[in-house]
A and B are shown apart, each in its own frame.
Chain A
Amino acid sequence: MNAAPPVSPVYRLPHPLPLDSGQVLEGCEIAYETYGTLAADKSNAVLVCHALTGDQYLASPHPITGKPGWWERMVGPGKPIDTDRHFVICANVIGSCMGSSGPASLAPDGVPYAMRFPVITIRDMVRGLVALLDGLGIARLHAVVGGSMGGMQALSLAANWPDRAARVLVIASTARHSAQNIAFHEVGRQAIMADPAWAEGNYYDALSKPDNGLAVARMAAHITYLSEAGLTEKFGRRLQDREAKGFNFDAEFQVESYLRYQGSGFTRRFDANSYLYITRAMDYFDIAEEHGGKLADAFAGTQARFCIVSFDTDWLYPTAESRHVVHALNAAGAKVSFVELSAPHGHDSFLLEHDQLDRVVKGFVE
């Protein structure tokens, strides 16, 4: 996969970006989209952070797939995050592949980084986003909002740059990756690395990319985004385009066909090496560990208002993880709201139609 079409504006950091690993990223670039108008006093900025395979196309069509923005139902004129009132920013995280610096980007030697790209963390991604805010002259966000990995970034911003956001909205997320979370990611990474086309990450000039491995990684991950009941309701044991079992290994069941479609579609828009780097960053994520082992200490003295939302069928980042964050925020004396919403669709519920979520987001961000 080559660099994404240069559709979004790109901010080139004026300084090397220091990383948690001790390395620095030279010539770091961050691609971003904005919606709405920045007020003269720059007080109305809302930063929306995207999830693992998301990007900056929050409320505008994706340049590769042509599909609507990934949260168009939440962000826009008159929507819960109202672009008539707020200046909404969404940036591609570093390590990704939609215009921000990542393994597919050219290193200073003119060759793609591939696996020479430094291993990054969620805090490194946020450090990049903070540099972008500096570049835009935004000292303090009206709100930072994120679901899933986006929620991790929102929490990281609140913990490490406590003055940069007045409101912190975290949806279907966690303050640490669990053993189970890491385990699923490792399955995905091994699927990519087991694909001969991966070639130790050096496939950018090759005829084939590790699409098969990346597709399997996406298929395995996609299962974790859905609930068992949701899968049953959507597919059951129904067969795909056939009346009877064929006694072969085609995609005989509808659920198999669906997963294969999800997997192959994903390879058209995502870089396998980026998938390795971003899942690794998520696996390293543990805010308490960054702050001496006690999560409450990460938020000591915070003046921000927090809102934490979980979904009852999300088994990837279950409600218990959100409660863990809420208890830490309570212990830190932070102003926090928390609600567990009911939804049939598991982790992905935060991206889907949900009136209660809309009201909570609107009420909190307003």
Chain B
Amino acid sequence: MTPPAASLRPDLAAIAAHVAPGSRVLDIGCGDGALMAVLESVSGCDARGMELDGALVERCVSRGLSVVQGDANLDLANYPDKAFDYAILSQTLQTATRPDLMLDELLRVGRRAFVSFPNFAHWRTRAALLVGGRMPVTRALPVSWYETENIHHVTVEDFRDLARLKGAKVERAWFFSNEKQIGAPAANWRAEFAVFELSR
């Protein structure tokens, strides 16, 4: 039942391809454990997860993954410094109470961090706001403003600024549109999703 890396969401596949084999990894907001399963079975990693949704945690545990039901806003504090080679935060930063503090925690518990997020400056989002005059509901951000969990929308350039402010070095970055990787030029216009690898 080894899941193929190819079945992963593109941002997770990019992360899976760049985690060094045999690493210790914490996947924060691990969902059903798809990335963890690949990291363990394909890359021989020691992967741990954190997930808020109990039903998803149960699915992870029943497939043999080590996942803790917890709130990343609070529970990251219980991990020692540099306990992991990589801390991964996929599509969760924009839901954090304080994304800046969460980024600090990520770079504290992990030697490196992968962060993926939907880019609010993608041209569809801009167009929806500019032309429609409404909070964007797009392919990448499909939920209405009043029920979205995304309480801190962020753009590629905002994230670069935050990383700089936090003294984090951008090691690598990947950008995606329409489920496919795209180049870095004009990413803040063209990317629906971004993945950053950071160190400090």
Interface residue ranges, A against B (CB under 8 Å): 305, 307, 323, 326-327, 330-331, 333, 335-342, 356, 359-360, 362-364, 366
Between A and B, 16 residue pairs with Cβ closer than 8 Å are A305-B66, A307-B61, A323-B70, A327-B78, A335-B48, A336-B66, A337-B57, A338-B67, A339-B54, A339-B61, A339-B69, A341-B54, A360-B61, A360-B62, A363-B62, A363-B63
Residue of B nearest to A358 (CB): B62
B80→A333 contact, CB < 8 A: yes
Bound Cα distance from A32 to B83, whole angstroms = 41
Interface residue ranges, B against A (CB under 8 Å): 46, 48, 54-55, 57-58, 60-70, 75, 78-80, 83
Q: A330-B79, A336-B66, A359-B61 are in contact. List 14 more A-B contacts (CB 8 A).
A: A307-B61, A323-B70, A326-B78, A330-B68, A331-B78, A335-B48, A337-B68, A338-B67, A339-B58, A339-B61, A340-B69, A360-B58, A360-B62, A363-B63
**Chain B binding surface SS class:** mixed
A338→B78 contact, CB < 8 A: no
Bound Cα distance from A356 to B56, whole angstroms = 11
B62→A336 contact, CB < 8 A: no
B54→A337 contact, CB < 8 A: no
Q: Which residues in B have their C-beta under 8 angstroms from that of A342?
A: 54
Q: Which residues in A have their C-beta under 8 angstroms from that of B48?
A: 335-336
Residue of B nearest to A359 (CB): B62
A337→B67 contact, CB < 8 A: yes
Given A331-B80, A333-B83, A356-B58, decide whether A338 and B68 contact each other with a Cβ distance below 8 A.
Answer: yes
Would you list the 7 A-B pairs with minimal beta carbon distance, nearest first?
A: A363-B62, A327-B78, A359-B62, A338-B68, A339-B57, A335-B66, A337-B61
Q: Which residues in B have their C-beta under 8 angstroms from that of A364?
A: 61-62, 64
Q: Which residues in A have their C-beta under 8 angstroms from that of B83?
A: 330, 333
CB-contact partner of B54 in A305, A307, A340, under 8 A: A340
Residue of A nearest to B51 (CB): A339
Residue of A nearest to B60 (CB): A337
Within the complex, the shortest CB–CB distance from B104 to chain A, in Å, comes to 18
Q: Which residues in A have their C-beta under 8 angstroms from that of B62?
A: 359-360, 362-364
Within the complex, the shortest CB–CB distance from B186 to chain A, in Å, comes to 41
Q: Which residues in B have their C-beta under 8 angstroms from that of A330?
A: 68, 78-79, 83
